[in-house]
Amino acid sequence: MEANRKTNIIYIWMLNLNLIIILYITGIMAAGLLGHVHENSALEFMQQVNSVTMAPWKIPVTAVLLYGSLVLLLCARAENNIFLYVKTAVEVVISFMTGYLLNFSYSGMLLLILADVIRRTGRVRWRYAVIGVVCGMYLLMDYDLLSGRYHITALETYLLYYRGDIRAVFLGVKNVLFSLNILFFIIYTIQLMRAQMNEKERILSLNDKLNQANEELQLANRQMEEYARESIKNAETQERNRLAREIHDTLGHSLTGIITGLDACVTLIDTAPEAVREQLKVIADVARNGMADVRRSVKALRPDALEKMELEKALLAMMEETRKASHVEIDYCCTAELGHYNKDEEEIIYRIVQESITNAIRHGRAGKIMIAISIEYNVMNIWVKDNGIGCTHIEKGFGLHHMEERLAMLHGSLNYYVDNGFILEASIPIRWGG
């Protein structure tokens, strides 16, 4: 872009220089003509010219007008090839007319066209033909060549008006200006070449970058594929875990209740067959619930109780069921409002309570379970204590482990210790309205 800007600036310099040259030459011509009239040497001059001269004021005026139109045309962008051919042709014609006004003493305008053509015709068909035509015109538009065939008056004839030393200065300045124009053209061409080389380099470096990016992309792609594979594996594992959890949570819970109930039945069957019947009915209910849980697990994840009712009611129903099935005394105290939680929160609360009860019965052989749920500064605390045998060494079973996992998902925490039984404390940060 920078190189392009430089090329543009040089081109503008060339345009300005050509204007100066045209004004200079036509100025000298016009002044010479007026001088002849002023000094009554017009007749003498007329005998030396080869053509009728234009009125003095007309020469600079028409030359500048023609040059103006040439500049505007040069600045117009060619949108297609045909427009470009026409544009170049018209430019050449205008240059020729301007050259005619200058008595073909100057053809530098064609360098402007050439510069423009070289620059703009990157991939134009007949590019070299167009350049060739412009070059040809540049070479042909010469006084000495044309004066043999046509009536043209040499610039030198106009200069004859001036004194010898002044004429020498005029010619000197003219030559300097002409050379300057050619010099500008050369600089322009060099700059254009540099710009094109820069452009090529830029394209090459861009290409490199592109290749590099491509490689990185391929690597990332491979990593992505690996990650996807791992993800699938993870999902499988998770799903397996989930299923295990589900089986443990639902079937395990029900089966524990059934086993405890059946154990009671075995004890009671001889002494109180009636009670056994009652007990068996309850066990059957538990089994049915368990069955329903299994069905639901197959279908989805949520506990059936939660599916059907609100958290608090589900909790109460679950506790009532346990009480009935295993004759455990459950002391439940809830100071928190249990509505309006998110489903995952509701589920984890339900599961923690359910799991704690199961653990207390299965491992602690407890007869009494105390459950307290409270909320404090957006953190729900679940506290479960049983009067069971506890244990000296807590072996983290599937249930506890599972509970921890679930809590971690909600950024909650789990604590458990033994103090006259097993005590479990879980805290869950609540996202209100989530």
Q: Which residues are near another protein by CB under 8 A?
A: 33, 36-37, 40, 42-43, 45-47, 49-56, 58, 61-63, 65-66, 68-70, 72-73, 75-77, 79, 94, 97, 151
The tokens 């007026």 sit on which residue?
A: 34
Q: Kindly state the smallest distance separating residue 378's Cβ from another protein, in Å.
A: 59
- For 329, list phi and psi in degrees, rounded to 5: -90, 125
Cite the beta strand spans of 254-378 per DSSP E: 329-334, 368-376
Q: Kindly state the smallest distance separating residue 71's Cβ from another protein, in Å.
A: 8
Query: Measured between alpha carbons, how far is 415 from 239 in angstroms, rounded to an integer?
Result: 26
Q: Which string of DSSP letters, residue by residue, matches 32-72? A: HHHHHHHTT-HHHHHTT-SSPPPPTTHHHHHHHHHHHHHHH
Q: Kindly state the smallest distance separating residue 223's Cβ from another protein, in Å.
A: 42
Q: Kindly state the smallest distance separating residue 301's Cβ from another protein, in Å.
A: 59
Token couple for 207: 């290409």
> Which residue number, 1 or 72, has a Cβ lying nearer to another protein?
72
CA dihedral 245, 246, 252, 254 (to 10 degrees): 150
Q: Kindly state the smallest distance separating residue 179's Cβ from another protein, in Å.
A: 27
Q: Kindly state the smallest distance separating residue 11's Cβ from another protein, in Å.
A: 15
> Which residue number, 40 or 392, has a Cβ lying nearer to another protein?
40
Q: Kindly state the smallest distance separating residue 222's Cβ from another protein, in Å.
A: 42
Which whole-number Å values give the CA distances from 251 to 185, 307, 409, in the listed order? 94, 17, 23
> Which residue number, 65 or 219, has a Cβ lying nearer to another protein?
65
> Which residue number, 78 or 192, has a Cβ lying nearer to another protein?
78
108 close to 181: Cβ distance less than 8 angstroms: yes
67 close to 98: Cβ distance less than 8 angstroms: yes
Q: How many CB atoms lie within 10 A of CB 243?
A: 13
Q: Kindly state the smallest distance separating residue 31's Cβ from another protein, in Å.
A: 12
> Which residue number, 51 or 378, has a Cβ lying nearer to another protein?
51
- For 356, list phi and psi in degrees, rounded to 5: -60, -45
Token couple for 309: 């009712």
Which whole-number Å values give the CA distances from 95 to 66, 100, 138, in the listed order? 8, 8, 10
> Which residue number, 36 or 245, has a Cβ lying nearer to another protein?
36
Residues forming beta bridges with residue 380, ordered by sequence position = 375, 428
> Which residue number, 53 or 256, has a Cβ lying nearer to another protein?
53
> Which residue number, 83 or 128, has a Cβ lying nearer to another protein?
83
For residue 335, with 0-12 CB atoms within 10 Å meaning exposed, 13-18 middle and 19 or more buried, which class applies?
A: exposed
Query: Measured between alpha carbons, how far is 423 from 170 in angstroms, rounded to an integer?
Result: 114
